[in-house]
Chain A
């Protein structure tokens, strides 16, 4: 049976890399840290809560302003950076949720939002993140943090995932 902590690390890292790849941004995962001391301050941080048995907390996604220029987008209809980060945070948690199905972990996701660097700092001072994941891009580092309660006992590997994955269209 896979180790819970390393399985969760792999799921979060691969979900983040795949998600940014779908936007045309290449990411390289950096060694993971369990403390928040070295997290750079960014203006754009998306946050989303999740709640389930043994898996409750928040996920944050911080993106440097410079990385925004790397997104593949229609020049005639440019995205608003804050809305893009908010939506990516939502999609990141969705990917993680779908991949955790194989461990029989289920939870409900909240609505994503964007917080200022001041709010992010306050939140970080209240509680240390469970884990901090860093990724290098051509324009700075992307940071993902996981905060809350993760009980390894709820991870039961079943080997069966969802029938559908990202990008699929199921017609009824």
Chain B
């Protein structure tokens, strides 16, 4: 079973994403911010990570940049999920190695389709 990491400080969003992904047959692990996300990433073997951007302690872009510094995560597909559509932020995520940028609220069938495609 493919394992997905969801990092978002909103329990509502984590629940929505987890429910949709679990229904589609994925195993889901949740984290509430970038710090916890990095810890979970070290603890499990993930096939894909979904990161919120605006979070306390360590935001999603910072988490992505730290994650991609570790050669272990170079090939891990990361999708950013946020309310932001600012071009400079999208460019920063792309440069740091993200595979995609999703703007909330995202349609769950579209999200599941994208995740399925990226984890192969």
- Please list the residues of chain A having a beta carbon within 8 angstroms of any beta carbon in chain B: 19, 22-23, 74, 76-77, 79-80, 83-84, 86-87, 90-91, 93-95, 97-98, 101, 106, 109, 111, 162-172
Contacts and interface: CB of A to CB of B under 8 A. Distances in A.
Nearest to A164: B85
Interface residues of B, number: 34
Interface in B11-25: 11-13, 15-16, 18-19
A98 B105 CA distance: 13
B83 A111 contact: no
Interface string B76-104: 00010011111100100010001111111
A166 B105 CA distance: 6
A170 B86 CA distance: 13
B69 interface: no
B111 interface: yes
Contacts of A79: 11-12, 15
Nearest to B88: A106
